[in-house]
Structure 1
C-alpha cells in the first residue's frame, strides 16, 4: 500500500503550550523590533517584550524535557551525522517524512531558542547611551554595557537570518511537500497513517506550573538582583 493510498488520520502533534509558545514568541520578537524602531517612550514596551521572550524561552527549555512527546528535545534533536544524511536526502528530494520536527528543523529550533535567549539576556545589560537602560545594567561597568549593547544589536541581525531560514523551510514543506505545517501549529494535529503511533499530550497543569516557574524566574531576576 502506498503512502497516498494508505488511510490517514489526524494525529496529535503540537500541544497547546507549543502552539502558544510559537505564536507568542513570534509576536513578541516582532513587537520588540517595532518598538525599537519607534524609540522614545516605546522603549519601555520594547523591554517588556524582551522579558516576555526570556520567559518564553525558559518555559520552552523546561518543556523540552517535561512536555509532550513531540515537544521534547530527545525526540527531534538528532546527531550531526543523521542531520547531514537528512540534508543530503532532502537535496535529492527523497527525505523521509517526520510527524514532528525533522532533523534540520530540530536544530533550527535549538538555534532559535539560543539566539532568542542571547538576545533577551544581553538586553538586560544594554543601554542606549541616552535614557533607556536594562534592569541589570548597574551590575556591570558603563563601558561593558555599551559593548553588550553592540552585541544586542548584532545578535538581532543573526536572529533575523535564522528566522528567515526557518520561514524558507516552512515555505518549502508547506508549498512543495504539501505538508500543512502552519495549520498544524494552529490546531495541533497532522495527518499520518492510521498505524503510526499516537502520543497523548502532556497534562495541562504541568505546563501551567512550568509557565509559572518561568515567569517567577524572570520576575526574581528583574526585581531581586
Structure 2
C-alpha cells in the first residue's frame, strides 16, 4: 500500500498550505548525506594506491549504510518506509505524464519516479560493496575488478540522474527539496508529518560509522617502506655497526 500523500495540483496546494511539517527523520537525512559523501570519496580515491585504505573504508561504510537503510525502510517512520513510496508501473507512468505536462502530482514523501532511482541506487550500492570486497581480497579474478569499476560508473550516472530529478522537481513544485533533506521539513497538511525525528537512532548510526573508521585506521597494517627510505635505513644500520 502506498501511503504517500499526493495532490493533483501542486502549486494550488502550496498556496493554501503554509504548514511546515517534518517529513524526513534524522536517520534518513544522515544516511543520505553520509552515503553521498562516502560514494564521492570512494570514487575519487579508486585509482590511488596511496589512498587505498580510505577507498576501502568508505566502500565498506556504504555497504553498512545500505544495510541500515534496508532495515529502516521496514521499521522506520512513515516516509522512510519503502511501502510509502514504492508503487506500481501505473503510478510511475502517471507521475511522468504529469512531469511532461509540467504539472505533476505532488507527493509529501518520495515521488514514484524518484522511488525507482532510489531502489536502483541501493541495489547498485550492494553490488559495489560485494564486488569491492572481492577485488580487495583478490577473489574471483580480474573480471570482477572490471565489473566493480563498471558498476561504479553506472552508479555515478544514476547519481547524476537523481540530482537532475531533484532540481527539476524543486522547480516544478516550487519547493527546495535539497533544503528539505537538510531540515527534514516540507510543506504539507496538518497531521501528515512524522511525530519524531528519531535523533537517538541517528546518533547511534553516526557513532557506529565513526567507530568503524577509527577501527579501520588503527587495525590497518603499517605502510611499506619506500625504496628511498629502505636505503636510508640500511645506511643508518651500517654506520651504527661501524661504530
* Max Rg structure: 2
Query: Above 0.5 in TM-score?
Result: yes
Q: Which residue of 1 aligns with 2:64?
A: 55
Q: Please report how far the alpha carbon of residue 164 of structure 1 lies from its aligned counterpart in structure 2 after TM superposition.
A: 0.8
Q: Does 1:75 align with 2:70?
A: no
- Residues 169-197 of structure 1: per-residue CA shift (max 9 Å, x gap): 0111223432110111111100123x452
For the residue of structure 2 that corresponds to 1:8, the secondary structure is coil
Q: Does 1:180 align with 2:192?
A: no
Which aligned pairs between 1:110-121 and structure 2 lie closer than 5 A?
110-121=119-130
* Consecutive aligned runs of 4 or more in structure 1 exceeding 2 Å deviation: 2-5, 174-177, 195-199, 201-216
Which aligned pairs between 1:164-179 and structure 2 lie closer than 5 A?
164-179=160-175
Q: Please report how far the alpha carbon of residue 199 of structure 1 lies from its aligned counterpart in structure 2 after TM superposition.
A: 2.5
Deviates more, 1:201-210 or 1:181-190: 201-210
Q: CA RMSD in A?
A: 2.6
- Residues 1-33 of structure 1: per-residue CA shift (max 9 Å, x gap): x43541411111111111111111111011001
Total equivalences in the alignment: 203
> Which residue, out of 5, 12, 18, partners 2:28?
18
Q: Which residue of 1 aligns with 2:74?
A: 65
Q: Which residue of 2 aligns with 1:201?
A: 196
For the residue of structure 1 that corresponds to 2:60, the secondary structure is helix
TM-score normalised according to structure 1 size: 0.81
Q: Please report how far the alpha carbon of residue 168 of structure 1 lies from its aligned counterpart in structure 2 after TM superposition.
A: 0.6
Q: Which residue of 2 aligns with 1:8?
A: 18
Which ranges of structure 1 fall in alignment gaps of 5 or more residues? 127-133
Q: Which residue of 1 aligns with 2:45?
A: 35
Q: Conserved in 1, the CA contact under 8 Å of 2:74 and 2:82?
A: yes
Q: Please report how far the alpha carbon of residue 106 of structure 1 lies from its aligned counterpart in structure 2 after TM superposition.
A: 1.1
